[in-house]
Amino acid sequence: MIHYAIVGCGHIANKHVEAIRAAEGAVLTAVCDRDPSRMEPFLAKGIQSFTDMGRMLASTSVDVVNICTPSGLHAPLAIQAANAGKHVVVEKPIALTLEDADAIIQACEGNGVQLAVVHPNRFRPVMKELRRRVDAGAFGRFSHANATVRWNRNQEYYDQAPWRGTRKMDGGVLMNQAIHNLDLLLWLMGDVEEVFSYHETRLRDIEAEDVSVSVLRFTSGALGVIEAAVTLYPRNLEETLSLFGESGTAVVGGSTANWIRAWAFGDQTEREREETIYRIDHDPYGQPGHHAIIQDMTDAVRENRVPAVTGKDGRKALELVLACQRSAEWGRPVSLDALR
């Protein structure tokens, strides 16, 4: 069995608990949080609980540590786990600075442990199908792509925890809400060369931006648009990813990007198109993304292989967010090479 520990017992930790319980060959051994009250449900189930991560690492037979704390705390905790010889699963974003992301990656590589970043949307049935279409060359040359997140996070959401909406711990709408969609954009379209962005804090009483719009050029020459907002009234409207090429069009959307809204390829018959849409419509969620991440990490540890979503993948998404934020702050285009 691969033994897991969770550090940070807030809301997102529940998904990790469910995923560990569902994974074949995995078991939750310990939890850690500075607030003892958050660990009471685990104590009742006989799971070891700690308020100090160092003590947990020293006194348990943990193989993998899942970092589920606010984003600004990811780096020191992930590095501490790696230095103790533990494999690491870190929630998105991998960190809030490239320096911290690089330090996590280097600590894991230096200690010979695996590192996975939680970008679970890659495992959605429609995204796996979309990746197969990209790998088959079905789009031909890409012309452009759009990534859109139009969600609602009201003031009550931000007031629930003091770290939410801050630059130091949250990072803003691109970093906290839209980064999964940006990971998908990069996974499917390849690297970005340059961005030009605007962002504002329009409607929420927070430090970070609540709306952001960017245009970008991929290294392939294709263009792109990113729109992200948590200001939608009165609830989440959509998460959409659209890819356009010389021989293919795909639009995936809904309140979360799980459903096909447009699907046309020169190498597919109408019947094949309808069969794809039917298959996705009847199983839009598939295996929950966190379950897929934990099962993959469990298998990666057993097989001594790299996880499906690596630290470098997490760094790429972070790099794009930071480029957009710097462009908005500086009022000019930003080359991603300048960040590397």
Average pLDDT over residues 130-143: 98
Q: Among 12-16, 45-49, 296-300, 320-324, whose mean pLDDT is lowest?
A: 45-49
- CATH number at 121-287+319-334: 3.30.360.10
Confidence of residue 45 (pLDDT cuts 50, 70, 90): confident
Q: What is the pLDDT of residue 338?
A: 81
Confidence of residue 59 (pLDDT cuts 50, 70, 90): confident
Share of the chain above pLDDT 90, in %: 96
Which homologous superfamily is 2-118 in? Answer: NAD(P)-binding Rossmann-like Domain (3.40.50.720)
Q: Do domains 2-118 and 121-287+319-334 have the same CATH topology?
A: no
Q: Among 8-17, 38-47, 60-69, 177-186, whose mean pLDDT is lowest?
A: 38-47
**One-letter-per-residue 3-state SS of the chain:** CEEEEEECCCCCHHHHHHHHHHCCCEEEEEEECCCHHHHHHHHCCCCEEECCHHHHHHHCCCCEEEECCCHHHHHHHHHHHHHCCCEEEECCCCCCCHHHHHHHHHHHHHCCCCEEECCHHHHCHHHHHHHHHHHCCCCCCEEEEEEEEECECCHHHHHCCCCCCCCCCCCCHHHHCCHHHHHHHHHHHCCEEEEEEEEECCCCCCCCCCEEEEEEEECCCCEEEEEEECECCCCCCEEEEEEEECCEEEEEECCCCCEEEEEEECCCCHHHHHHHHHHHHCCCCCCCHHHHHHHHHHHHHHHCCCCCCEHHHHHHHHHHHHHHHHHHHHCCCEEHHHHC
Mean pLDDT of the chain: 97
Q: What is the pLDDT of residue 288?
A: 97
β-pair type (211-218, 223-229) = antiparallel
Q: What is the pLDDT of residue 276?
A: 98
Average pLDDT over residues 265-272: 97
β-pair type (238-245, 211-218) = unpaired
Buried residues in 86-108 as b, exposed as e (16+ CB within 10 A): bbbbbbbbbbbeeebbbbbbebb
Q: What is the pLDDT of residue 46?
A: 85
Average pLDDT over residues 224-241: 98
Q: What is the pLDDT of residue 111?
A: 98
Question: Would you list the domain boundaries of the chain?
Answer: 2-118, 121-287+319-334
Higher pLDDT: 35 or 42? It is: 35
Q: What is the pLDDT of residue 95?
A: 97
Confidence of residue 221 (pLDDT cuts 50, 70, 90): very high
Q: What is the pLDDT of residue 339?
A: 78
